[in-house]
Chain A
Amino acid sequence: NAGVMQNPRHLVRRRGQEARLRCSPMKGHSHVYWYRQLPEEGLKFMVYLQKENIIDESGMPKERFSAEFPKEGPSILRIQQVVRGDSAAYFCASSPIQATNEKLFFGSGTQLSVL
């Protein structure tokens, strides 16, 4: 029973390139959340998606960042024209229903390094 799968685990990009981070939720989970963890900072909420819908993107920067969760395939977090400040660990979590006090299952994250 695979958990939340994120790939790649490590991603190196030069300034100005695009970064694509993938997240496959746990089997049976239709709700996906993306969080970002900057060095020496806590996890910050970015976006919450259900299949084919963005439910809450209030934590995501308005420019250069986008997220999708298509009907088929993984959720994608896309960062265009990356800058050094985008270097962080990006975590995806999933839940079977909209999580209230229920458990969020986190993936192992993608460590993005921008040179």
Chain B
Amino acid sequence: TQLLEQSPQFLSIQEGENLTVYCNSSSVFSSLQWYRQEPGEGPVLLVTVVTGGEVKKLKRLTFQFGDARKDSSLHITAAQPGDTGLYLCAGPDSTGTASKLTFGTGTRLQVTL
């Protein structure tokens, strides 16, 4: 069974601060995805990383896939209240299809003024 552990579980910071959240596994994933989920809504895909060592940027968000494709990180620069939400990493099962995504337990981020 492939497991994805995310840390920290909860993070409360002030506007303008930087933060990093982590997604770790003992298994190798062919790719990893990051989602943001707001209360009462479904997850929305932010990015997919595919190549070990890959770095992708989405405005103030920087995503990195570990060289061994077992871990990933999400760094947010100058956080804003609009970044508040549940951040989930997810990876396809060992067959490589997204039909059975394994999700991490998430990092709940709160950004206050």
Contact = CB atoms under 8 A, between A and B. Distances in A.
A55 B100 CA distance: 11
A83 B12 CA distance: 35
Contact of A101 (B44, B98, B106): B98
Categorize the interface residue count of chain B.
Answer: 20 to 34
B48 A45 contact: no
Contact of A104 (B31, B41, B101): B101
Interface residues of A, number: 30
B40, B45, B100, B103: residue with the most chain A Cβ atoms closer than 10 Å: B100
Given A108-B40, A108-B41, A33 B88 contact: no
A14 interface: no
Interface in B77-106: 88, 90, 92, 96-106
B104 A45 contact: no
Contacts of A41: 105
